[in-house]
Structure 1
Amino acid sequence: MDKKTVSRDGTSLAYQRTGQGPAVILVSGAMSTGATVAPLAGPLSRRFDVIVHDRRGRGESGDTAPYAVEREVEDLAALIDAAGGEASLYGISSGGALVLRAAASGLPVRRVAVYEVPYAVDEADLQRRREYTERLTRALAEDRRGDAVELFLRETGLAEEMIRGARQSPMWSDMETIAPTLAYDDACMGDSGVPRDLLASVTVPVLSVAGGASPEWMRQAARAVAEAAPNGTYRTLEDQTHMVDPNVLAPVLAEFFAR
């Protein structure tokens, strides 16, 4: 990241900016930095001024306690100011939940696109999410960062043998470093059900995308987002999973943001 801006509470935010045209800000999900969404910046920068940033508590950005979702909305406000006062937003997974909250807050946002925000679609899933929140909160309060990362990886459906392998990998220490931000993403998700009242207040166009090879519940959640937003559209990308190919997603986002 080669640029810095400062959020309302004094937190330093690191970001990169490429391309020319209308501004688009890309927002990563849990356990990730701006590097996760950076592959989208290349193809989008042919038509847009693309901003990729490290969310607070990650990478080269700072952090300021206590955390609140409103602080991350203010972070996006600072980035929008840096972009010239208006931008479209894209968020993947829990980053999608954040950009939807930002749009609902009244920031100068033109359009919002999200990919597979993992909202619960039934009561059993909601209960499991509540249990995850309780266990995550306890692990982080006791500074058991490795356990917190394991909880998250299980929540994503990663097999136990893969989790054991991850613990032995060189990346594990980096994952433990940003483990406290798992609570940030959990807060952005709210109670994890589809926030229909919040979405009803998002008046700008919303594109909700899911992968055709992802679990059915993810497509259900993505459809529900589009249905709850007054100006929402749903799109399926055939053969894609939660690890979406940026070269498949980028043309869809470009067409939507260019309207």
Structure 2
Amino acid sequence: MSVDAPTIVASADGTSIASYRAGTGPVVILVDAALSTHEQSRRLGALLEPRFTVVRYDRRGRAGSGDVAPGAADPAREVEDLAAVITANGGSAILFGSSSGAALALEAAAHLGDRVAGLVLYEPPFIVDDSRPPVPRDLPERIASEVVAGRRGRALALFLREAMSIPAVGVAAMRLTSNWAAGKRLVHTLGYDFAALAGTQDGRPLPRERWGGITARGVVMAGERSEPFFHDAARALSELLPRITYRSLEGGHHGSAVMSPGGIAAVFDELWASPTASA
């Protein structure tokens, strides 16, 4: 069972990062998606804890973590945050990332070398072809402007409609749920998600040189029920990184990492917890 008392570590710029550790075994750090805190990793963490030391943490500016430079949205700062969490938990870790969290995990692996011992990536939302429209280039600025003006609901609606392609009727329905208030509380952090995804949202091939330093082995997955562009992105990434293999998650969808993570947990067991798992 997860222990909810956080450990606070200091990132390189002095930002306080809250993390939550439980379990025993190889260290796994869970990197959440946009508009999420460590709470969204609770189910996956609980499945992994019997065989892994699981560290859930709040990304910069979210929940228990601070941000000494709000609005700067530099992915290098989030890599430094992950480096601090890794250091506080033995010096190396397997990283799991979902959606934009997968993009951040890739950035960390590219910059932190063998401190990242493995990668499990779920649906990095890269747009590598015409299987979905590109994200408008000015969307991050428009969302930031709405946040500065105090119109967090409008900012959230922009993200859901133009980045996630949720129809207007779906956004209207979300306004009636508790997720809407939670999203409004975190909408100011979307700049970090857009920064981690920069250069991957316009329908062009992935930048081959961007992750050239990655040596970790692992898996990139897309859910069987998810939109085709997630699968196109996962395949394209596996073609760039020879130690990262592509899989389709049976029955999976974009929310599987939060709602039904059993198939994702099984991949960790296969690669790192089973007696036959290879280095």
From 191, 198, 204, the equivalent of 1:190 is 198
Query: Partner residue of 1:85?
Result: 91
RMSD: 1.9
Q: Distance in 2 between matches of 1:192 and 1:139?
A: 24
Distance 2:262 2:156 in 1: 29
Greater mean deviation of Cα atoms: 66-75 or 163-172? 163-172
The 3 A distance-change label for structure 1 pair 203 and 30 is same
CA distance in 2: counterparts of 1:78 and 1:178, whole angstroms: 22
Instruction: Find the partner of 2:155 among 148, 152, 167.
Output: 148
Superposed displacement of residue 141, structure 1: 4.3
**One-letter amino acid matched to 1:50:** V
Tell me which amino acid in the other structure corresponds to 1:88: I
The equivalent residue for 1:222 is 234
Match of 2:30 in 1: 26
Partner of residue 256, structure 1: 271
Which stretches of structure 1, 4 residues or longer, exceed 6 Å deviation after superposition?
none
CA contact (8 A) 1:55 1:61 kept: yes
Instruction: For 2:53 and 2:196, locate their aligned partners in 1 and report how far apart those are by CA, in whole Å.
Output: 26
> CA offsets, 1:73-102, max 9 Å, x none?
011011101111111100000000000000
Partner of 2:187: 179
Percent identity (aligned): 39
1:67 to 60, 70, 73: 73
Equivalent pair of 1:88/1:111 in contact (CA under 8 Å): yes
Partner Cα separation in structure 2 for residue 157 and residue 173 of structure 1: 20
- Tell me, yes or no, if structure 1 residue 201 matches structure 2 residue 205: no
Matched, 1:49 2:64: no
1:4-30: CA deviation from partner (whole Å, max 9, x where unpaired):
211111111111111111111001000
Query: TM-score, with normalisation over the residues of structure 1?
Result: 0.93
Determine the structure 2 residue equivalent to 1:233: 245
TM-score for both structures, normalised by structure 2: 0.86
Aligned residues: 259
Alpha-carbon separation, structure 1, partners of 2:120 and 2:150: 35
**8 Å contact from structure 2 (residues 220, 246) kept in 1:** yes
Amino acid at match of 2:8: K
Query: Structure 1: which amino acid aligns with 2:269?
Result: A
Question: Which whole-Å deviations, capped at 9, do the CAs of 1:18-60 have from their partners, x for residues lacking one?
Answer: 1111111001000111111121111111111110011111111
Taking the aligned partners of 1:148 and 1:166, their CA distance within structure 2 comes to 14
User: Where in structure 2 are the equivalents of 1:105-184 lying within 5 Å?
Assistant: 105-107=111-113, 108-122=115-129, 125=132, 127-154=134-161, 155-184=163-192
Within 2, Cα distance between the matches of 1:233 and 1:139? 39
SS in 1 for 2:210: helix
Which of the numbers 101, 104, 127 marks the counterpart of 1:98? 104
